[in-house]
Structure 1
Amino acid sequence: MHAPRSLLLLPAIIMCHFMTGQHNCVAIHKKTSCQVQGGRADCSHLRLKAVPPNLPRNITGLDVSHNDLKALPPGSLAPYPLLLHLNVSYNSIAKLDQGVCRTLPLLQTLNMAHNVVHLLNEEDVSLCTNLTRLIMASNKLLLRGEPFSALQSLRVLDVSMNKLESAKLGSRPQLPHLVSLDLAFNSFTTLKKGDFSFLRHSPFLQILNMSSVLLKKLEPGCFEPISGLRALIMDGSNMGTQVISKLCSELSATAIDSLFLRKTKLITLTKATFKGLKETNLTFLDLSRNDMEKIEGGAFSWLSRLHTLILTDNGIKLLTNDTFKGLNSLRSLQLTKALVKRHSTPIIEDFSFRPLIALESLILQRTAIHDITENTFTGLSSLRELDMSWSSCASLRNINNKTLVSLSGSPLLKLNLTGTAIARINPGSFFFLRNLTTLLLDFNFIKQTLTGEEFEGLNRVEELHMSNNHQTVNLSSRSFVNVPDLRLLNLGRSLKAEAVNIDPSPFRLLLKLTVLDLSNNNIANFRENMLEGLVNLKVLSLQHNNLARLWKTGNEGGPLLYLKHTPSLTTLLLDSNGLDEIPAEALRGLSNLREISLMNNLLNSLKDSIFDNLSSLRVFDMQKNLLTAVRPRVFKAPLRNLSLLLMNKNPFDCTCESMLWFVTWLNDTHGTRVPGLRDQYLCNTPLAYFNRSVMDFDGLSCKDMTPFQALYILSSTAVIMLTVTALLVRFHGWRIQFYWNVLINRTLGFSDAKADEGREFEFDAYVIHAEKDADWVDRWMALLGNDLCRFCLEDRDSIPGMLKLNSIVDNMRKSRKILFVVTETLLRDPWCLR
């Protein structure tokens, strides 16, 4: 198939670009004036009556298609002498003025499709010597003389849908560089021997499109002048088997490589249908949409060089071991909707594919097969891809070790069993597919607990898809023990809610896993070690579950920090999980994260540091939450290098404290794309900004608050300090006074006596006690007192005849220390209180 791909691309582009107009292949947006960009002016769909005269003079492309032009006077194009491409399709122009090419000497592409041009004379385009593409599709052409003889550089000519009565566009050789000729949807029914004689000297011609031309007769030698032809498109021609046989015979002398015979009413393929192609190098054949019911044995035996065969959308009832006989070089066979159940179920006999020894890709999408036996695919020794998605086959509902045993001799890499109504996979079902790297089991009805034996033998599988299962699958700790090389695992909308809440985790052995999809499973609980060991995981999809409780502060054991085991994560999807809280440590360590999606949750108040580690973030999605404020302490770090921000549909509080920083950031940023900024980022409060865009928020009003904010800070500080001082004085005033007196006394030199002052003390300590404690103090002083330690007691050692206060002071001076005997009685003593 590799050889004709480039050939297929060109007719596809031609048919879209020139038959329907280049702007008909894309969505049309309303506009009110011409749009000029990159040297091209787009003035389509403006209901213009004439070419606009006020466009830049240096434009090289002009599109005035889909307007109301009645003529194309050369004077209207005079202001644009550098034009290379001119599109005037879908207008009402009746004639191509010969002065157009005189005014535009550099013109390379002229598109006049879907106009009302009738007569085309030789002088009309005689000056268009630089034209490489001329599109005259869907007009009412009547060719007079040799209108294309001067176009020596033309590579693409489209005269389709013009009701031409003959394929002969000239009588003498011309168009020496023509590559593609489009004659589709014209009225001729016969190809005469000399019809293409005008292309006898056109060695570059490769593509001929005669779709929907109702050919009934082909004269011998009709393709002889264009023997270098590589691709012939005959779609929708309704020729039938006999005319197609004749067509193949006439193509035998050409270099035909690709043949398109779609919708040609080729209901039966006989053994002689393609006999004329035996000597050709045909590598691509498309027979789709023919309602084909029968293929005789050996019908393809003449096509030994064929690489690609497309039989899509037919009604084949039976494939036998002779159906594909002779296709020794076939690499791709497409049978999508080729075997469809109508009156009976189509049958694929044993060894039907055995002749296809070089086949690499077999597509059996949306087919109905009676049964798959132990020899259905026998002989496909080169098969690398088998696609049976959305097919109906009773054998696939309960897969066992015999269902696909016929593939044991195939080096199969990809097996697609999507939507095949599989209900159970038995142990060893894929044991023979030891080269398999991709297994797709999406959209089935599997209902079982995966023990790991189901995937026995799949040691090389890297992708396993089991999403959107109509039943529920349960997992065990050994579910994936036989697929250690797994890199992508898709289990979205397939599992029981408690399937992953097991220990040890079913994913612990998947050390190479990079993508894990557990979305849409209503998972509410799992263990913190569920992702343990997945050090290479890059994409984690957990959206549409019920994970809110796992991150709540009140969760038993605290928030579950399950992401700490995935340091390589680059994409994290947590949409629609009912999250109303994110722990401060939840995203810690995810320095490689480039995309995070928290859309459609209940997030409002976010901790200041939760996004601080996301310095590599490029896509940030927090749509449809309950965010009222976008504070810099939360969002400054993740928004620093962002490419795409999605924070719309939140109830924003448009006040200075909540939105000033965010609005300033939106006005200053240029590298971040913020879709829907004007109409989806709306204020909810206050009333003055209700339902208005956040971009309407006036940040200048916040500057008037600066003096009041300073006054508020000062007054608040003063009140707090006054309160603290009052409390200190009330409860610790005596301490403050004591230390103050000590500080003053020491500053003024009234410090305690020191040994170097030469001062002598009579007592070691002066004892102060309550009067009621005298007996207790006397007893203890008697026990402690000796010649080395003398205590002064006021009742015993007071100086007779001296005032009590003076005596106390004098004895204190004679004592080295003052010893307080603190008791409850002392604290109530009148002297202590004073």
Structure 2
Amino acid sequence: MTQWVIAMESIGLLWICCMLASSLMMDFIGHTGADAKDLRGVPCHYDITSEGLKATCSHRYLTAVPTNLTHDITVLDLTQNQLTKLDNTSFTSLPHLRYLYLQSNNMSTIESGAFQALPELCSISLTNNNFTSLPTNIFSRNQNLQIVDLSANRFVSFPGNALNSVPSLTRLSLEKNLLSSLNFTGWRSRNMTSLVLSSNNFSSLHEDDFLSLKEARIDLISFAKNNLTSLENGLFQNLDGVREMSLTDNQISKLSFHLFLGMSSLETLHMASNLISAIEPLAPLPNQTNVIPNLTYLDLQSNRIPSIPPRAFWGLGNLIQLDIHQSRIDTLQNDSFKGLESLEILDLTGNHLSYVTKDMLLFSSRLQSVVLSSNWFTELSPKQFGDIASLTSLNLARCRITDLRPQSGGWNLRNLKVLDISYNRLVRIDKNSFYGMANLTTLDISNNRLLTTIENGAFASIGRLQSLSLSHLSYLGQLHSPFTNLIELTILDMSYTSVALSYELFTGLSNLRRLSMRGSGLSASSFWDSHTEDLPVLSALSTLERLYIKGNKLDLLKPGAFQGLQNLQKLEMDNSDITSLNDDIFMNLTTLQSLSINENHIAELTSRHLADLSSLVGVSIKSNEIKGLASDVFANNPHLSYLYISHNHLTTVKEGTVLPRRTLDVSNNPFSCNCEFTWFLNWINKAEVSIIHPDQTNCSSVSLAPFKNQPILAFDPTEVCGPKVWVYIITIFVIVTCIMICVVAYQRRWLINYKLFHLKILLLGRRDDHDGRERLDYEYDINLAFDDDDEQWVRGILKPGLEERLTDFDRIVCGDDDLPLGMYYIEAITEVFEQSYKSILIVSNRAVDNHSFISKLRLAVDQMNEVELEKVILIFKEDIPDGRLPYLVRLFLSKNKPYFRWSEDKYGQKIMWEKLVRELGYNKKMNDILPI
């Protein structure tokens, strides 16, 4: 028992009054929203990154480098500030700096020693400033510097004097400057991986410009997006160490490979988006092989080349990929590509070709892929592509092909694996259409919207086919056995093609893994064979793993529609006009891992629907009409990790609902953020789950006032649902007032208690609920039990006080000395407890550690339980910490049994004596017993 407990009993009514007064101020206290982020004056932010300690000082309107940065930083970000210059002392306190970002300031001046204190600097960005030049040898002390980015400045000449002292430089960008001429004199970097000079003002270049780079090894040099028009032959012969060059997006009108003679290391050349209208072939001159570029990739897309001349690419015998798409080509010669013995990929997409012959494509025994999509072909026959033995991929999509015309001997494309003839104008596929393509594995016939006929056995000659796309075709009617012999087919796409399903249609597809029939006009009855009503059309596809049937009319789909799909792992039924699901619709789909039923009108999802889906990992029920989830809806899905249930009508999540372990999307639901919602917020905070679209997961307008239309993650239930809410809403004035009242009340607590006791007697009167036995019926009036150390206080204060106030109580047993003689000790104690009208036990710090005293207390409580009368009173002689109170004392107090506390205060003593005398006047009947 502590003094605070008794004090609070005295001032309880006063405190409640204070709290009620403070609650009147609730409407004046709200949540203030954060203004737009303004970092002006905000200290730099530090982070540990893979590059070391990073200081982010961007967007802070700084006019100078901060001087209070820790000297351990390795990365410094000063972007988007208002720096105008760097002086020699700007970085003197940062000896370990390795990465320096200074882009998007307003700098135009740097002192020559600005970076001398940075010996470990390896990367610097000065992008988007106003530099026109840099001091000579500014990087002389930065011998580890590898990357310099000077893009988007105002340099009119190459800053070689600033860079010639940095032999370690590997990447340099001067993109988007005002350079119109080059001067690499004195530049000593010999191992460049990238030199970017794009988007400048170069209109011409000269052979001598690159003389200083003759022995330099440069992986990439770029002159893209300049104004280059006509370039002289042999211009780049000094760049024999360059591996990749970009001249994209200039105004070059003629491609002459003499321009690149001497570039023996050149492997990749980009000349896209120029004005090239002619190609000047290299003349086959003797002893010239060693100076011809060793190109493996040539990009000529988006030019204006009407015709490819004979031997246009002679000398490029190592070229592997040639890209000339969208270059307005309408004519090819039989020997246009002669000399390209190593070519593997030829891309002529988006030109104006209407006819090719196989002679044009027999130039390389290594040719594997030909892309001729978006040209003007009208037919496809072996005269064009037959007998190309090396060909593995042929793309003729988006042409104008109306007919496939195989000859009697077939195509003789024995190695062709991929054929794309989508987006054409085919009207018929017969059984000989693909004869001679025995090794074809992927066939795309989609988006031939005039195609209405596919013969039975149309694909029988391509028995190794693995992927077949028949999507976006016209109505195919009742197909019987078009897929004969396709025992290796794993992917079949018939999306957006209206087809009448039957069990026979899928017979023989013994290895099918993925079936797509999105938007194919299917209904609930489509999944049952029209000839045998109880035969599901999909039941033959026992190997099927993924089924996509979104965009159909699947309402009232009967149980058993998915019978036989014992290996199904993913099922997609989005946007299918489903209003309700049969309880057994997913029966026996024990391997299903992903279920998607988005964009329907489903109002209820129960555990019965998902009962058999023991392997379910992810469920997506977005954009439905679900108003609530039962707490056990996912009880049978122990592996559930992903749940997407956004755009529904959920107002709450019931306590105990099984939720996913990794990802949860409940955005755009009208959640009511009230105290019942607390458990869900606690679950989110404790679970290691990713919340998708938290900014769109908001409390609705019917939520508690402070949280209306706010993100639910901002909802703090403790502010309104727990006792702490009062602490946050009370005003300073009321707090101070209540504290003052409490202090005064505590100081006068005994007087207040004394007055309240008499007021209670006046208003309620005295209770007289006793047992009917008179005091004189007992042998003793009072039994006083205490520890030996408390005997002086009992005999000096307590007993005299009782004798003074209760003069007729003259039979008082005081301690062990007054026990009756002739009995054993325990028997004597028991006898006194039984024959005493009242028993008073004195509780003190020494008494609670005394086993003899605790035994007496147990005997007293036993006797009290036996007679069912409150004959026992506890008097606490002193404060005892709560942690030291014995269990039996705690039990006694918890049952509201009589107890008093001795106080040193005179009013406290006075009220105790009056309450004690009143309690000694009768024995109250007990309604319950103490379970000891």
Query: What's the offset of the Cα at 1:457?
Result: 4.5
Query: What's the offset of the Cα at 1:611?
Result: 0.9
Given that 1:384 and 1:410 are in contact with CA atoms closer than 8 Å, whether structure 2 keeps it comes out as no
Answering whether residue 305 of structure 2 is matched by residue 292 of structure 1, we say: yes
SS in 2 for 1:100: coil
CA distance in 2, matches of 1:269, 1:432: 43
Query: What's the offset of the Cα at 1:270?
Result: 5.1
Unaligned segments of structure 1, at least 5 residues: 1-28, 340-344, 552-558, 705-834
Query: What's the offset of the Cα at 1:596?
Result: 0.4
Name 1:149's counterpart in structure 2. Answer: 164
Query: What's the offset of the Cα at 1:89?
Result: 2.3
Aligned pair partner of 1:595 in 618, 640, 644: 618
Given that 1:195 and 1:222 are in contact with CA atoms closer than 8 Å, whether structure 2 keeps it comes out as no
TM-score using structure 1 length: 0.71
CA distance in 1, matches of 2:164, 2:598: 65
Alignment of structure 1 residues 193-204 onto 2, 5 Å = 193-202=207-216, 204=217
Name 2:641's counterpart in structure 1. Answer: 618
TM-score using structure 2 length: 0.64
Given that 1:108 and 1:130 are in contact with CA atoms closer than 8 Å, whether structure 2 keeps it comes out as yes
Name 1:510's counterpart in structure 2. Answer: 541
Name 1:475's counterpart in structure 2. Answer: 501
Name 1:180's counterpart in structure 2. Answer: 194
Query: What's the offset of the Cα at 1:410?
Result: 7.3
CA distance in 1, matches of 2:435, 2:187: 56
Given that 2:607 and 2:633 are in contact with CA atoms closer than 8 Å, whether structure 1 keeps it comes out as yes
Name 1:103's counterpart in structure 2. Answer: 117
After alignment, is 32-41 or 524-533 more displaced? 32-41
After alignment, is 37-46 or 310-319 more displaced? 37-46
Answering whether residue 589 of structure 2 is matched by residue 566 of structure 1, we say: yes
Aligned pair partner of 2:580 in 549, 552, 563: 549
Name 2:511's counterpart in structure 1. Answer: 485
Name 2:907's counterpart in structure 1. Answer: none
The higher relative CO (CA closer than 8 Å, separation ≥ 6) is in 2
Given that 2:629 and 2:654 are in contact with CA atoms closer than 8 Å, whether structure 1 keeps it comes out as no
Given that 1:245 and 1:273 are in contact with CA atoms closer than 8 Å, whether structure 2 keeps it comes out as no
Over residues 259-314 of structure 1, what are the superposed CA-to-partner deviations in whole Å (9 max), with x where a residue is unaligned? 11112222233554999889443111111111322112332343332211112222
Answering whether residue 570 of structure 2 is matched by residue 539 of structure 1, we say: yes
* CA 189–445 in structure 1, closer or farther in 2 if over 3 Å, else same: same
* CA 515–43 in structure 1, closer or farther in 2 if over 3 Å, else same: farther
Name 2:251's counterpart in structure 1. Answer: 238
Query: What's the offset of the Cα at 1:130?
Result: 1.4
CA distance in 2, matches of 1:379, 1:36: 66
* CA 606–150 in structure 1, closer or farther in 2 if over 3 Å, else same: closer
After alignment, is 660-669 or 680-689 more displaced? 680-689
Answering whether residue 686 of structure 2 is matched by residue 668 of structure 1, we say: yes
After alignment, is 140-149 or 604-613 more displaced? 140-149
Alignment of structure 1 residues 92-171 onto 2, 5 Å = 92-141=106-155, 142-143=157-158, 146-170=161-185
Alignment of structure 1 residues 577-596 onto 2, 5 Å = 577-596=600-619
Name 2:670's counterpart in structure 1. Answer: 651
Query: What's the offset of the Cα at 1:43?
Result: 3.9
CA distance in 2, matches of 1:629, 1:387: 53
Query: What's the offset of the Cα at 1:178?
Result: 1.9
Name 2:6's counterpart in structure 1. Answer: none
Given that 1:407 and 1:432 are in contact with CA atoms closer than 8 Å, whether structure 2 keeps it comes out as yes
Alignment of structure 1 residues 423-462 onto 2, 5 Å = 423-427=451-455, 428-442=457-471, 444-449=472-477, 451=479, 453-462=481-490
Aligned pair partner of 2:526 in 478, 493, 500: 500
SS in 2 for 1:664: helix
CA distance in 2, matches of 1:383, 1:433: 16
* CA 364–570 in structure 1, closer or farther in 2 if over 3 Å, else same: farther
Query: What's the offset of the Cα at 1:79?
Result: 3.9
Given that 2:440 and 2:462 are in contact with CA atoms closer than 8 Å, whether structure 1 keeps it comes out as yes
SS in 2 for 1:667: helix
Over residues 746-780 of structure 1, what are the superposed CA-to-partner deviations in whole Å (9 max), with x where a residue is unaligned? xxxxxxxxxxxxxxxxxxxxxxxxxxxxxxxxxxx
Name 1:812's counterpart in structure 2. Answer: none
Name 2:902's counterpart in structure 1. Answer: none
Give the aligned residue type for 2:468. Answer: L
Given that 1:322 and 1:352 are in contact with CA atoms closer than 8 Å, whether structure 2 keeps it comes out as yes
Query: What's the offset of the Cα at 1:378?
Result: 1.8
* CA 667–221 in structure 1, closer or farther in 2 if over 3 Å, else same: closer
Aligned pair partner of 1:371 in 358, 363, 379: 379
Give the aligned residue type for 1:105. Answer: P
CA distance in 2, matches of 1:389, 1:679: 42
**What is the aligned residue count?**
649
Given that 1:594 and 1:619 are in contact with CA atoms closer than 8 Å, whether structure 2 keeps it comes out as yes
Name 2:321's counterpart in structure 1. Answer: 308
Query: What's the offset of the Cα at 1:411?
Result: 3.9
Given that 1:594 and 1:618 are in contact with CA atoms closer than 8 Å, whether structure 2 keeps it comes out as yes
Given that 1:612 and 1:638 are in contact with CA atoms closer than 8 Å, whether structure 2 keeps it comes out as no
Given that 2:428 and 2:454 are in contact with CA atoms closer than 8 Å, whether structure 1 keeps it comes out as yes
CA distance in 2, matches of 1:125, 1:439: 61
Answering whether residue 659 of structure 2 is matched by residue 638 of structure 1, we say: yes
Query: What's the offset of the Cα at 1:605?
Result: 4.3
Answering whether residue 264 of structure 2 is matched by residue 254 of structure 1, we say: yes
Aligned pair partner of 1:346 in 333, 351, 354: 354
Answering whether residue 87 of structure 2 is matched by residue 64 of structure 1, we say: no
Give the aligned residue type for 2:659. Answer: P
CA distance in 1, matches of 2:160, 2:701: 74
CA distance in 1, matches of 2:439, 2:37: 53
Alignment of structure 1 residues 21-60 onto 2, 5 Å = 32=39, 35-37=45-47, 38=49, 39-60=53-74
Name 2:410's counterpart in structure 1. Answer: none
Given that 2:309 and 2:333 are in contact with CA atoms closer than 8 Å, whether structure 1 keeps it comes out as no
Give the aligned residue type for 1:517. Answer: Y
* CA 654–111 in structure 1, closer or farther in 2 if over 3 Å, else same: closer
CA distance in 1, matches of 2:282, 2:485: 46
Give the aligned residue type for 1:616. Answer: H
Give the aligned residue type for 1:600. Answer: S
* CA 51–500 in structure 1, closer or farther in 2 if over 3 Å, else same: farther
Given that 2:630 and 2:654 are in contact with CA atoms closer than 8 Å, whether structure 1 keeps it comes out as no
Answering whether residue 279 of structure 2 is matched by residue 269 of structure 1, we say: yes
Query: What's the offset of the Cα at 1:56?
Result: 4.5
SS in 1 for 2:527: coil
Name 1:89's counterpart in structure 2. Answer: 103
CA distance in 2, matches of 1:298, 1:499: 62
CA distance in 2, matches of 1:194, 1:577: 71
CA distance in 1, matches of 2:525, 2:355: 40
Query: What's the offset of the Cα at 1:247?
Result: 1.4
SS in 2 for 1:255: coil
CA distance in 1, matches of 2:478, 2:136: 76
* CA 404–646 in structure 1, closer or farther in 2 if over 3 Å, else same: farther
Please tell me the root mean square deviation across aligned C-alpha atoms, in Å: 3.3
SS in 2 for 1:661: helix
Query: What's the offset of the Cα at 1:406?
Result: 6.8
CA distance in 2, matches of 1:601, 1:337: 43
Given that 1:314 and 1:338 are in contact with CA atoms closer than 8 Å, whether structure 2 keeps it comes out as yes
